[in-house]
Structure 1
């Protein structure tokens, strides 16, 4: 199966999310604001960040230095 991860063992890998919740070219908002909701355009980039090739551990139990680069 193809993957964005370049190697089996890595420190940090960042790649673009294939199913992002935001888009760079999002459409204009046509809904009107209401008493309870304000509508606005939202756009951006969504990335996936993998901090370790070790998926057996618990992130909160790893040293903080592992995530500060």
Structure 2
């Protein structure tokens, strides 16, 4: 099974941004940010690109796909 992993929480901590601020910057709800961080929601390409832009990081530095055994 292929899973989307992210460094959202780590990067928010690095930049001292809370979930509410991140949500405002990315144009989504705080709940969406929380779900993405927990791996319970896969963002659209547009949302993923917006998040990467906020951190001024390439998309691959924020999101990655990994294969996990089922």
> If the TM-score is normalised by the length of the shorter chain, which range does it land in?
under 0.3
**Structure 1 length as normaliser, TM-score?**
0.20
- Structure 1 or 2, whichever has the larger Rg, is 1
Higher helix share: 2
TM-score (norm 2): 0.20
